[in-house]
Amino acid sequence: METIVSNDLNTAISLLNQGEVVAIPTETVYGLAANALDTNAILRIFEAKQRPHFNPLIVHCKSWESAQNYVLKVPSIAHELAKYFCPGALSFLLNKNNIIPDLISAGSPLVAIRIPQHPIAQALLQSLDYPLAAPSANEFGYISPTSAEHVFDSLKGKIPYILDGGSTQVGIESTIIGFSENGSILLYRKGGVSIESIEKVSGTKVINADIGDKLKPQSSGQLKSHYAPKTSLILGDIEHLYSLNKNKRIGLLSLSNSYSHLNFDYRFLLSQNHDLNEAAKNLFAFLRQLDQLDIDIILAEYMPQQGLGIAINDRLYRAQSIFKIID
Ligand code: TXA
Ligand code: MG
Strand partners, 24: 31
User: Over the chain (327 residues), what is each successive 10-residue block's mean pLDDT?
Assistant: 97 98 98 98 94 91 98 96 98 98 95 98 98 95 95 97 98 98 94 98 94 51 68 96 95 98 97 98 97 96 98 95 47
- Alpha carbons within 13 A on the beta-carbon side of 119: 4
Ligand 1 pocket check for 221: Cβ under 6 Å: yes
Query: Which bound ligand lies closest to the C-alpha atom of 57?
Result: 1
Strand partners, 185: 179, 206
**Ligand 1 pocket, residue 235 CB under 6 Å:** no
Query: Which pLDDT score is estimated for 53?
Result: 83
- Cis omega (within 30 of 0) for bond into 101: no
pLDDT at 223: 56
Q: Do the Cβ atoms of 20 and 161 come closer than 8 Å?
A: yes
What is the torsion angle, in degrees rounded to the nearest 10, for the CA atoms of residue 32, residue 170, residue 7 and residue 5?
-50
Rounded-to-5 percentages of helix, strand, coil across the chain: 35, 20, 45
pTM for the complete prediction? 0.93
Buried-state track 41-67, b at ≥16 Cβ within 10 A, e below 16: bbbbbbebbebeeeebbbbbbbebeeb
Say which residues have a Cβ less than 8 Å from residue 120's Cβ, sequence separation at least 6: 7, 9, 24, 25, 163, 165
Give the containing element (helix H, strand E) for 318. helix 309-319
The rounded Å distance from CA 261 to ligand 2 centre is 37
Q: How far apart are alpha carbons 43 and 54 in whole angstroms? A: 12
Sign of CA dihedral 85, 91, 97, 98: positive
- Regarding the beta carbon of 111 and ligand 1, being less than 6 Å apart is answered yes
Ligand 1 atom showing the smallest separation from residue 172 Cα = 1
Atom of ligand 1 nearest to the CA of 138: 14
Q: Name which of 137, 25, 112 is nearest 61 in CA terms.
A: 112
φ, ψ for residue 128, nearest 5 deg: -110, 155
The C-alpha atoms of residue 186 and residue 215 are separated, in whole angstroms, by 12
Q: Tell whether ligand 1 has an atom less than 6 A from the beta carbon of residue 44.
A: no
Query: What pLDDT score was predicted for residue 216?
Result: 47
Closest by alpha carbon to 318, among 250, 219, 243? 219
Closest ligand relative to 55 C-alpha? 1
Q: Is the CB of 58 under 6 A from ligand 1?
A: yes
- Indicate whether residue 188 lines ligand 1 (CB < 6 A): yes
pLDDT at 52: 83
Rounded Cα–Cα distance for residues 111 and 109 (Å)? 7
